[in-house]
Structure 1
Amino acid sequence: MISHELREFVDRVMDRHAIDDEDVKMLQREILLDSVMSRDVIDVLIALDRAVPDSATSFADYLVALTVDFTVWESRPTGVIDREKAHWLVATLSSGDGPTATAQRIAFEIVREAERCDELLLAFAMRKGALSAQRLSSERMLLAS
């Protein structure tokens, strides 16, 4: 369940179609400061990342750190991404038109940080990372020609 304050935050950003640095500070210092993190909150923030393409870099950085901390260190079993957690993460990160750049970073950082990780998330992170590397390589080849 998400708080009333987070709901208002989401409504405000959706109306403006933008998330700036001040919004991120408000999210960190007022809205989520004393909140108990949950999958619902993570789901809402990842959906917000997808829905608001005009977002400050600080939002992506905060979302990556928050999601990694919650999934790897706060959720039980600690340090482990089991099958159930991996399924939730892959579904959340890939919904819509596919993962955003931030969602790809989240998957990669979780795999990097976790002591053990289910192969479902590992495959997702590697597949998306490989696709990004392939795109980057193709773009570089086009620029070189």
Structure 2
Amino acid sequence: MGFAVEKSRTIISAMILGRKVTAQDVAWLRREVFADGEVTRESAEELFAVVRAGMSNAPEWTELFVELITDYVVWQSRPTGVVTDEEAEWLIGRADECKSLDALAALVNVLAEAHRAPQWFVTAVRARALQWPGVEAALRARA
């Protein structure tokens, strides 16, 4: 008789200990952990743990992170397509712990895909885009 191993926690812990997320890690996460498309609150918390660790990650990481957080907040939470006050508070709280471009990208993408979100959340995301370190430099680099 075997026992179940929480794949996402094990894999994400290993990535944090390794101090970076590679393109291969992202492919593994897509194939082994999130293949069914389900993102739980626990796995979303783990994804934010990677962002909080402030590591040098492959560009594929940001795409996966933003996609999964958006799926969790906008499409898998009920009512679908609506960011509730509870979800908005959770998301802002996690993003504020990171204050990173990845976290900001997730916030902005959630707003872009949601059919409805609290006005205070829209205002809060806008404020973070103007205040967080690195945002201005990143925007200049893209221009």
Does TM, scored on the shorter chain, surpass 0.5?
yes
The answer for the alignment partner of 1:24 in structure 2 is 26
Residues 36, 113 of structure 1: CA spacing in aligned structure 2 closer, same or farther, 3 A cutoff?
Answer: closer
Gaps of 5+ in 2: none
Q: Cα offset for 1:30?
A: 0.9
TM-score by length of structure 1 reads: 0.82
- Pick one of 64, 67, 79 that aligns with 1:65: 67
The residue identity in structure 2 corresponding to 1:120 is: W
Secondary structure at 1:117 match in 2: coil
Q: Does the aligned pair in 2 maintain the 1:104–1:128 contact within 8 Å? A: yes
The answer for the alignment partner of 1:104 in structure 2 is 104
1:75 aligns with 2:77: yes
| Divergent runs of 4+, >3 A | none
Gaps of 5+ in 1: 141-145
Q: Cα offset for 1:36?
A: 3.3
Q: Which moved more, 1:64-73 or 1:16-25?
A: 64-73
Separation in 1, partners of 2:13, 2:90: 25
Q: Cα offset for 1:84?
A: 1.0
Aligned-residue sequence identity (percent) comes to: 25
The residue identity in structure 2 corresponding to 1:81 is: V
Residues 99, 52 of structure 1: CA spacing in aligned structure 2 closer, same or farther, 3 A cutoff?
Answer: closer
TM-score by length of structure 2 reads: 0.83
Q: Does the aligned pair in 2 maintain the 1:19–1:55 contact within 8 Å? A: yes
The residue identity in structure 2 corresponding to 1:117 is: A
